[in-house]
Amino acid sequence: MYIPTPSELRAKRIMLGLRQADVARKAGISQSMVARIEAGTVDPRVSTLNKIIQVLKVAESPSITAEQVMHAPVHSVSPHDAITTAVEIMRQEDVSQLPVIENGVPIGCVSESTIVNTIEQIGIARAHARKVKDFMESGFPTIPPDIDIETVVHLLQQHHAVLVVGEGKVKGVITKHDLITLIV
């Protein structure tokens, strides 16, 4: 394992535009400890050094934002559309859920699983004549375009998708599939 010298740690911190106080806060140590480590007047524990190195690595790696991952345009339906319209859009676009948007504002969502559950309860013939509002469930969370991808990951553990909203408009959507493609 390579152990950076005090001057290398200092140079890296300065290059990344961080103050000693920034590194200390993010590493959970005191600013005076960072100063003493950089000055070479203290021999830090390996765990403390690892904390500082991790802070510098995170600062060095570019942060991925929702806007970079989202896809657009967002295919959606109105609550007054026929459910057959939603099903056709899902089939054409190969998606399993759609946001329900009214007057530019997301108000809910409709998903394949909700449609199937409703068909099971009322029968396919009766479901065929219904509107999207009859199948609507609570909407997707909305996030600003500049939010970090870690927040998106957390939200997607609880939801089908998240909508990226900026300037009062739905700009894009992020699904679990979009996150998986980041690995590739």
Best CA proximity match to 159, nearest among 87, 97, 86, 74:
97
pLDDT at 34 (0 to 100): 95
In this structure, are residues 155 and 143 in contact, taking their beta carbons and an 8 Å threshold?
Answer: yes
Residues 6+ positions from 129 with CB-CB distance below 8 Å: 82
Please tell me the pTM assigned to this model: 0.63
In this structure, are residues 83 and 128 in contact, taking their beta carbons and an 8 Å threshold?
Answer: yes
Alpha helices in the chain (DSSP H): 6-15, 20-27, 31-39, 46-60, 66-69, 83-93, 112-122, 124-128, 149-156, 176-181
Please tell me the distance from the alpha carbon of residue 150 to that of residue 156, in angstroms, as a whole number: 10
Please tell me the distance from the alpha carbon of residue 169 to that of residue 163, in angstroms, as a whole number: 10
Q: What is the mean pLDDT of the chain?
A: 90
Q: Which amino acid is at 4?
A: P
Please tell me the distance from the alpha carbon of residue 23 to that of residue 112, in angstroms, as a whole number: 47
pLDDT at 36 (0 to 100): 96
Best CA proximity match to 66, nearest among 182, 158, 184:
182
Q: Which amino acid is at 123?
A: G
pLDDT at 165 (0 to 100): 94
Which residues in the chain land under pLDDT 70? 1, 62, 183-184
Structural domains present in the chain: 6-60 (1.10.260.40), 66-181 (3.10.580.10)
Concatenate the DSSP letters of all residues of 21-58 into one string. Answer: HHHHHHHTS-HHHHHHHHHT-S---HHHHHHHHHHHHH
Task: Name the token pair of 86.
Answer: 């939603």
Neighbours of 166 (CB within 10 A): 15
